[in-house]
Amino acid sequence: MNEDAMIDAAKRLGAGPAARLDVDATARRVLERLREQPARRSTWIRVQWLRIAAALVVVMGGAYAVHQVWPTRENAGHAAHFVADDLNGLSTNELQDVLDRFDEMISGSGTAAPVEGSGDLRELDPQQLKRVLRSLEG
């Protein structure tokens, strides 16, 4: 079959079924379906939104429950961070007071404090005191 014969055949293809199509009836039916289906579409959209909202509630509720049962380690991280930050705002005397408390606690439990090159905390400068406190935080 050559190309011209193909084109001729293609032009005839479907001519019978197309001629039998009642286009006025088709147009009426299309309009009827267009009138009917927007309502169904808005219902569908409402249903989809309800499903999304329900899924969000389940996810958020689940996340809250999980958070309550297994607190994340993030909080511990924040606490350590805040303690370290607080050290920067302390004066030498305040730092020494804090270390005295630690010293008492450590002495009470029989553990020696890791003090760098000195047995007396009062001889340390603020930078050394901060290093000692941070090492105690672990």
Q: Site residues (CB under 8 A) for another protein?
A: 1-3, 5-31, 33-34, 37
Question: Which C-beta is closer to another protein: that of 19 or that of 112?
Answer: 19
Shortest Å, Cβ 43 to another protein: 16
Q: How far is the CB of 5 from another protein (least distance, A)?
A: 6
Looking at the Cβ atoms of 9 and 45, the one nearer to another protein is 9
Which residues are CB-contacts of 99 (< 8 A; sequence separation ≥ 6)?
121, 124, 129, 132, 133
* Closer to another protein by Cβ: residue 27 or 79: 27
Helices of type H across the chain: 3-12, 15-20, 23-69, 74-88, 92-109, 126-137
Residue type, 17: P
Q: Shortest distance, CB of residue 69 to another protein, whole angstroms?
A: 43
Looking at beta carbons only, is 3 or 125 nearer to another protein? 3
d(CA 138, CA 134): 7
Q: How far apart are CA 70 and CA 87, in angstroms?
A: 30
